[in-house]
Amino acid sequence: MPNLHITAHPLIQHKLTLLRDSATEPPKFRQLVRELAALLCYEATADLRLSPLRVQTPMGVAEGAQLTDGVGLVPILRAGLGMVEGVWDLIPHAEVWHLGIYRDEKTLRPVEYYNKLPVEPRVQVCLVLDPMLATGGSAVAAVDILKRWGVSRIKFVGIIGAPEGVRALSEAHPNVPIHLAALDERLNEIGFIVPGLGDAGDRQFGTG
């Protein structure tokens, strides 16, 4: 799958293992989500565009560069929220547009409940943030919304994906790169990723 990027970076794999561990409590879990989000976004933003920028150093003139793409972060509530601060550490001027989408527990279909996107997009690139790509329903719905909004360069940045979710997202939106720390074995009968990490929202917010 050309658009699927699973990173083997040792820092990411080390932190992912701590994140999965059921002994990891919410404060540490939140810190790991934040750190993983930054590391994954570092890789996902490797093709952002630059324009030349000349600066004066104490010793002379340097020919440098500045980002020209406006970046929008689109966390899917709730679990995507914890990824925002990590990406902001790298791209402090990124705009954040929240999308509220939850998964109906019986049908596993996405239900949109919050969306305050302005009429016109003001960014060129959107990073959809959600730690878990399970059936893919939430991610597909989020990308549908962003494409209708008018953004053409969209990337999905998650932490763990199931084969079912990767397939659904890449079939629905083949031009959306998928960045993950791990591709797990499967979904279980209630739509949870195995081995996964449990419920990423509950583990961040202490609501499990």
The site string for ligand PRP over 50-89 (x = CB under 6 A, - otherwise) reads --------------------------xxxx----------
Does 133 bind ligand PRP (CB under 6 A)? Our answer is yes
Residue 167 · residue 88 · CB < 8 Å: no
Q: Which region among 4-12, 15-23, 84-92, 130-138 touches ligand PRP (by CB under 6 A)?
A: 130-138
- Asked if residue 183 binds ligand PRP (CB under 6 A), the reply is no
Amino acid letter, residue 147: K
Backbone angles phi, psi at 40, to 5 degrees: -70, -40
Query: What is the separation, in whole angstroms, between the first and last Cα of the chain?
Result: 34
Is residue 198 within 8 Å of 192, Cβ to Cβ? yes
Catalytic residue among 20, 24, 103, 144: 103
Using the rule CB under 6 A, give the single segment among 58-66, 90-98, 127-135, 172-180 that binds ligand PRP.
127-135
Kind plus residue range of the DSSP H or E element containing 74:
strand 71-77
Write down the least CB distance from residue 148 to ligand PRP, Å: 18
Task: Classify 192 as helix, strand or coil.
Answer: coil
Active site residues: 103, 107, 199, 202
